[in-house]
C-alpha cells in the first residue's frame, strides 16, 4: 500500500504556527474587551442608582400631592385627617414598604426622611394664584439613607438628624398649590 503524498497531508490541517498566531490575536482582543468592563459596570451602577432615586422621588411626590395643599404647606385644619409621612421605607428595587418597616429585614434597604423646609408666599412663576401673604408653594427636603443605620446621631443631636447615618441622596422638591412643580434639585 502506498502512503499519501506529503502535500496532501499539509493541506488538510492548520500548522502549529497558524494556531499560535490565531490564539494570540484572540487573546489580544479579549484583553482589550476586558479593559472596558469596569467602565461598563460603573455606568450600570450609576443608571441603577438614578432609576432608584427617580422611583422614590416620584412615589414621595405622589404622597405629597395626595393630601390637600393646606396640609402640605403645614397649615392643616383640625378636621383634616390626611398627613404626609415623615419617614418611608423602600426595598433595593424601589418598591415602597410603608411607614413602619422592620429595618433589620434584609428587604428593607432604604429609609427616606421627608421634611417640610419652607413655605413661600410668592407664587411659582407663571402661576394663576397670587393671594398675598398665603403660601403658594412649599419645598420639601427628601433624604435617602441606608436603612438600619445607627439612630445614635438622631438622638444625640436634634439639630442635625443626619449625623451618624450614611446619606445616599438628598433632594429638594418644590410643589405649588396649582399642581405645578419645580424640577427636583439634588444636593
Sequence-ordered list of residues with C-beta below 8 angstroms from that of 154, at least 6 positions apart, any chain: 161, 163, 164, 165
Q: What is the residue whose three cell numbers read 449625623?
A: 163
Q: What is the pLDDT of residues 40-86, one digit of tens each?
A: 999 999 999 889 888 998 898 888 888 777 777 766 554 444 577 88
Q: What is the maximal distance between C-alpha atoms in the chain?
A: 113
Sequence-ordered list of residues with C-beta below 8 angstroms from that of 157, at least 6 positions apart, any chain: 163
pTM for this prediction: 0.65
Domain map (residue ranges) of the chain:
35-186
Higher pLDDT, 21 or 165: 21
Give the pLDDT score at 166. Answer: 78
Tell me if 87 sits within 8 A of 101, measured CB to CB.
Answer: no
Q: What is the pLDDT of residues 96-124, one digit of tens each?
A: 888 877 666 656 678 888 888 776 655 55
Amino acid at each position: 500500500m502506498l502512503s499519501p503524498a506529503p502535500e496532501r497531508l499539509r493541506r488538510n490541517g492548520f500548522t502549529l504556527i497558524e494556531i499560535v498566531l490565531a490564539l494570540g490575536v484572540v487573546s489580544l482582543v479579549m484583553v482589550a474587551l476586558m479593559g472596558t468592563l469596569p467602565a461598563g459596570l460603573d455606568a450600570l451602577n450609576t443608571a441603577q442608582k438614578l432609576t432608584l432615586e427617580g422611583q422614590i422621588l416620584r412615589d414621595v411626590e405622589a404622597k405629597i400631592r395626595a393630601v390637600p395643599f393646606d396640609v402640605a404647606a403645614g397649615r392643616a385644619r383640625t378636621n383634616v385627617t390626611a398627613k404626609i409621612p415623615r419617614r418611608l421605607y423602600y426595598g433595593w428595587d424601589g418598591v415602597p414598604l410603608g411607614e413602619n418597616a422592620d429595618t433589620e429585614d434584609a428587604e428593607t434597604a432604604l429609609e427616606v426622611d421627608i421634611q417640610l423646609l419652607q413655605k413661600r408666599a410668592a407664587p411659582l412663576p407663571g402661576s394663576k394664584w397670587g393671594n398675598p401673604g398665603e403660601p403658594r408653594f412649599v419645598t420639601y427636603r427628601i433624604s435617602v439613607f441606608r436603612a438600619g443605620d445607627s439612630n445614635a446621631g438622631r438622638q444625640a443631636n436634634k439639630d442635625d438628624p443626619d449625623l451618624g447615618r450614611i446619606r445616599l441622596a438628598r433632594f429638594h422638591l418644590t410643589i405649588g398649590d396649582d399642581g405645578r412643580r419645580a424640577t427636583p434639585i439634588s444636593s
